[in-house]
Structure 1
Amino acid sequence: MIDPFTLTLILIAVLAIMGASVGLSMIAGSFVYLILKGFDPSIASETMLQGLFNNYTLLAIPLFILAADIMNIGSLADRLLRFAQALVGRYRGGLGHVNVVSSLIFSGMSGSAVADAVGMGKIIINMMTRDGKYTASYAAAITAATATVGPIIPPSIPMVLYAIVSDQSVGFLFAAGMLPGLLMAFSMAVMNYIMARKHNFPVDEIVPLRELPGITWRALPALMLPVILLGGIYGGIMTPTEAAAVAAFYALIISVTIYRSVSFQDFYKALLGSARSTANVGILVAGAITFNYVITRENLPLTIAEMLSHYELSRVGFLIVINLLLLALGMVLEGGAILLIIVPILIPSVQAMGIDLLHFGVIVVVNTMIGLITPPYGLLLFITANITNQPIGRIIRDIWPFILALMVALIIITFVPDFVLFLPRLLGYQG
């Protein structure tokens, strides 16, 4: 007879392969587990509701999603792109550098790689492919790659999810992502420069320096959003959840009153889109909470910790194994599933190895972001393929150099913890 836990895993995998959402698959599998074990199935419902309603931090997710959707329907993206173009468009492969810088700026507002790729991506891809300056596949590849910075630079929806499962401070996690995010952007800018020299990509339109103050002034209301968010959080004025509400409200106010680029119909569409995205995340969180109860009943985290202890891995060896595991999982699972299902299983082992949980959180999120551009799952690859109407194979061919650049950044992030923890410690983190 098949063990109930094994049967649960098989059921979840089969349902997911058949097209059911991962969240619903986990809920169904958990109910089957409880029935087979002779437990009251209502335990699953109670666990799910308690996990959803007793976690104030979860409120930040729909609010950051709404803020990103409002920014995408307004003219913020256009103004930010013009600002980035004025800064770095004058260099070889200029629009590629504009892509990197604009993603870096937009990431300080949205907290979502998908929002970055969809919002800024459509505009910058059109700019890059106009007049045949860049191939459509290269434009799609660099747009997908630079969007991975979105959830590393604060604010970050994946960081919020990690904070929930690891009981870490969202504010300190946001601070821990700053330098790694800048490192990732720098690595991709270097790779874009190398590719520009190799393929003789053009220098973009050179914006006269005398026009820079005016361009900066027009983009300033949008550029102030990250300042308000981070200043409010680290100044002790707002919690991250309150900051998410401020971000959504501020994005709406400047889009309506200053840029005057959002109609009531646009706002209604943004609300609907945010509701759908929030529902998707909510189902995933609910499923993970329920399935984590099953994992706890099976004592799986401690079992894995004991199994790993038998191999007597050093800290370096352990981190290598963890990175390989997360990269492999990122090829087939979405980041939210990894954060909510896999990470809670690994945390006891991480603590046993003496690895700082804040540092580990950044490692996890960076790995899941690389997973978004790694075949065969590669959600960002499919998004940019849809924008450009390019075969996915061509985009995969052009994205490998950027995956290599991000892997170099990941190595530094993994094995130089002081680099990751420098800003959190500056802000009072004791880890």
Structure 2
Amino acid sequence: MIDPFLASILLLAFLAIGGLSIGLAMICASTVYLMMRGFDPSIASETLLQGLFNSYTLLAIPLFVLAADIMNIGSLADRLLRFSEALVGRFKGGLGHVNVVSSLIFSGMSGSAVADAVGMGKIIIGMMTKDGRYTASYAAAITAASATIGPIIPPSIPMVLYALVSDQSVGYLFAAGMLPGLLMAVVLMVMNVIIAYRRDFPTDNAIPLREMPGVTFRAIPALLLPVILLGGIYGGVMTPTEAAAVAAFYALFVSAAFYRSVTAGQFYQTLLASAKSTATIGILIAGALTFQYVITRENVPVSLSNWLGQYDLGPVQFLIAINLLFLVLGCILESGAILLIIVPIFIPTAQALGIDLVHFGVVCVVNAMLGLITPPYGLLLFIVSSITKQPLMRIVRDLLPFLIALFIALGIITFVPDFVLWLPRLLGYKG
């Protein structure tokens, strides 16, 4: 008779490859495992409900999703884009820089790579391809690459998911993402300059400096959102979940009352879209919680830790192995599945090797985000391909230099933990 754990793994793979949601596939696989073991299948439901009800932090996810969706329908994204254009648009390959900077700013509000690519991405791709100044494939490539910054700069939905499985502080994880996110932006802009000179991309018409005060003033309400969020969290005024609620309310207030760019009909449609996105993430979390029970019952983390112990791996070798594994998994698995299923297996080993779990979390999240632009799965690649109507391989070809730049940034993030932990320690983290 086939081993129940092996049967559940095979069923999970079969259902996922067949097109079923990975969350539903995990629930089905977990239920089959429980039945084959002779356990009550209702354990799956009990585990799921306990996991959800005991995780107050999870409430931040639908609220951050709602905040991002409101910003997309309001004029906040347009004003932020105009501000970014005034700031860096005057340099060689200017709109490429605008793309990166706008993602950097927008990421301080949405916490989602997909929200960044769909919201800001549509606008900036249109600007870059207008009059043939940049090829559509290049615009798509740099948009996908810069969107990976979104979940690294706080707030970050993937960081919340990592906090769920690692029992680490969301606030310190948010702080740990600041410098790595800025580093990723810098390496992308450097690569954009190199490519701009090689391909002789145009220097865009600069917004006159006399217009800068007006552009900045109009963008101030939007720029204040990350300040309010992070100031509230690190000032002890708000928890991350409360900050997410403030973000959603502030985005609605500024869009509807200050900019007057949101109608009641648009807001209703936004609520529906946010509910659908939240349900998708919720099913994934539910599936992960039930499948974690299976993994725990089978002592997979302990077995893996013992197996790795045979090779006498040090922290550096372990982190190299983790990077290679996650980059491969990112080609075939969705980022949320990696964080919720795979990462918990390696957390005990990371602890045993003395690796700081906040630093480990940032490494895991950056790897998961790079998976979003790594073929063949590459969710962001499919999104920008849909926007630009460009063949996937053409986009991948233009993306390769940016992937190399991001891999360099990943190396620094992985092997210089003090760089990642400097800001959290400044804010009181003892790790």
Q: Do they superpose with TM above 0.5?
A: yes
1:202-229: CA deviation from partner (whole Å, max 9, x where unpaired): 1111111111010000000000000000
Q: Write the distance in 2 (CA, Å) between the matches of 1:263 and 1:406.
A: 39
Equivalent residue, structure 1, for 2:89? 89
1:362 paired residue number:
362
- Which residue of structure 1 aligns with residue 345 of structure 2? 345
Letter in 1 for 2:169: S
Corresponding residue for residue 54 of structure 2 = 54
Identity score, percent: 74
Alpha-carbon distance in 2 for matches of 1:64, 1:322: 29
Moved over 2 A (4+): none
Deviation at 1:160, TM superposition (A): 0.2
Letter in structure 1 aligned against 2:343: V
Q: Give the aligned partner of residue 168 of structure 2.
A: 168
- Tell me the secondary structure at the aligned position of residue 381 of structure 1: helix
Q: Could you report, residue by residue, the CA deviation over 1:382-408 in whole angstroms, capped at 9, with x for unpaired residues?
A: 000000011111001100000000000
Give the CA deviation at 1:53.
1.4
Letter in 2 for 1:177: G
Supply the distance in 1 between the matched residues of 2:80 and 2:22 (Cα, whole angstroms). 35
- Supply the distance in 1 between the matched residues of 2:182 and 2:206 (Cα, whole angstroms): 25
The secondary structure found in structure 1 opposite 2:177 is helix
Partner deviation per Cα, 1:261-285 (whole Å, 9 max, x = no partner): 1111111111011000100011000
Q: Does 1:70 align with 2:104?
A: no
**Cα deviation, residue 106, structure 1:** 0.2
Give the Cα–Cα distance (whole angstroms) in 2 for the partners of residues 282 and 83 of structure 1: 35
Query: 2:328, 2:53 → 1: CA distance?
Result: 33
Q: 1:169-248 to 2 correspondence within 5 Å?
A: 169-248=169-248
Find the counterpart in structure 1 of residue 298 from structure 2.
298
**Separation in 2 of the partners of 1:200 and 1:76?**
32
Pair 1:116-2:128 in alignment: no
Give 3-state SS (helix, strand or coil) of 1:19's partner: coil
Post-superposition shift, 1:130? 0.2
CA shift for structure 1 position 427: 0.3
1:50 offset after TM fit, Å? 0.7
Which residue is 1:425 aligned to?
Answer: 425
Deviation sequence 1:87-117 (CA, Å, 0-9, x none): 1011000000000100000000000000000
Looking at structure 2, the residues matched to 314 and 64 of structure 1 have their Cα atoms a distance apart, in angstroms, of: 38
Amino acid at match of 2:84: A
Offset of residue 317 of structure 1: 1.0
Amino acid corresponding to residue 299 of structure 1 in structure 2: N
Amino acid at match of 1:47: T
User: In structure 2, the residue corresponding to 1:232 is in which secondary structure?
Assistant: helix
CA distance in 2, matches of 1:398, 1:349: 37
Code of the aligned partner of 2:222 = A
SS state of the match for residue 175, structure 1? Answer: helix
Secondary structure of 2:429's aligned partner: coil
Distance 2:162 2:315 in 1: 21
The SS at the match of 1:312 is coil
1:123-177 deviation digits (Å, cap 9, x = unpaired):
0000000000000000000000000000000000000000000000000000000
Kindly provide the CA deviation profile for residues 219-269 of structure 1, in whole angstroms up to 9, marking residues without a partner as x: 000000000000000000000000000000000000001111111111111
- 3-state SS, counterpart of residue 20 of structure 1: coil
Note the residue ranges of structure 2 that are not aligned, 5 or more in a row: none
Is 2:8 aligned against 1:8? yes
Partners of 2:79 and 2:113 in 1: CA distance: 19
Query: Partners in 2 of 1:243 and 1:314 — Cα distance?
Result: 38
> How big is the shift at 1:2?
1.2
Stretches of structure 1 lacking an aligned partner (at least 5 in a row): none
3-state SS of the aligned residue for 1:138?
Answer: helix
TM-score where L is the length of structure 2: 1.00
How many residues align? The count is 431
Distance 1:201 1:375 in 2: 27
Alpha-carbon separation, structure 2, partners of 1:34 and 1:244:
36
When the two chains are superposed, the root-mean-square deviation of aligned CA atoms in Å is 0.5
